[in-house]
Amino acid sequence: MRFLKQLAVVVLVSFAGGAAVQAVTWNAPLTLILGVAAAVLALAAYAWVVRKTEHREPVEVARKTAPAALGRGVLIGLAMFLAVIVNIAFLGGYEIRGWGSLSGAIAIFGFMAAAAVTEELMFRGVLFRIVEERLGTWISLGLSGVLFGLAHYFNPNATLWSSFAIAVEAGFMLAAVYAATRNLWVPIGVHFAWNFAQGGIFSTSVSGQDAPQGLLDGVTSGSAIVTGGGFGPEASVYSLLTGLVVTVVFLWLAKRRGNLVPRRGRAASAATLGA
């Protein structure tokens, strides 16, 4: 029941915030203000519903851990996308032709702030976290990752390949980041920085969505397997490989820190055998 209550609250607030952001049609100051406001409201709603349904403080979104954890996540997300775009450019699939639009980058910042926060609250804060308690880390990671990929299947220019890539490089990876850190600020930072770097800095398509030009006037061309085609670099094989490497690293960290949760039945059996 708490799963449904938490999901309903987060989805409702996210839908309202997203509708407000889209209504201003990329107006830079309004998109920035409404995007940040939607993110803050979603975080407040998540914290409130967790307190009501679980009778605990939502330490995974504690304000005191936000600056450092968010900063680490942003650095990881930027480094990941920089590695991807450099490899695409090395093969001639991406070219910078000059400066783009500052106002476009500002609008994309607000839009991506709302998107990153609301998606992380839904998929990692509610879905992954609660399913993990009963079914364990591995099943929850697989389930939440696949659903995250399917959620992007209906985006413009999406294909089965792009949905598979999103499931692996984002769905699995961000769940692994949360499993290792037990803090939602880190995956929020990774998610935001990855998306903002794509659209707000390098002006590439983000999950097939149309957006204004970012800081750089960048153009992609060539093989879709390299560039991601109309869906954007997230459908590039380089993104898939980068996300897979980061997933493995964070799962290793989660195991080393003792953060991998066994399936409830297995945990009970192990405890019985140990006794």
Instruction: Express each pLDDT in 122-170 by its tens digit.
Output: 999 999 999 999 999 999 999 999 999 999 999 999 999 999 999 999 9
Token pair of 131, please?
């399913």
What three-state secondary structure class fits 204?
Answer: coil
Is the pLDDT at 275 greater than 60? The verdict is no
What three-state secondary structure class fits 193?
Answer: helix
Is the pLDDT at 267 greater than 90? The verdict is no
For the entire predicted model, the pTM comes to 0.94
What three-state secondary structure class fits 98?
Answer: strand
- Of 131, 159, 160, the C-alpha closest to 144 is 131
Give the model's confidence band at 210: pLDDT under 50 very low, under 70 low, under 90 confident, else very high.
Answer: confident
- Of 69, 84, 32, the C-alpha closest to 197 is 84
Token pair of 51, please?
């307190």
Is the pLDDT at 273 greater than 50? The verdict is no
Give the integer Cα–Cα distance in Å for 154 and 176: 25
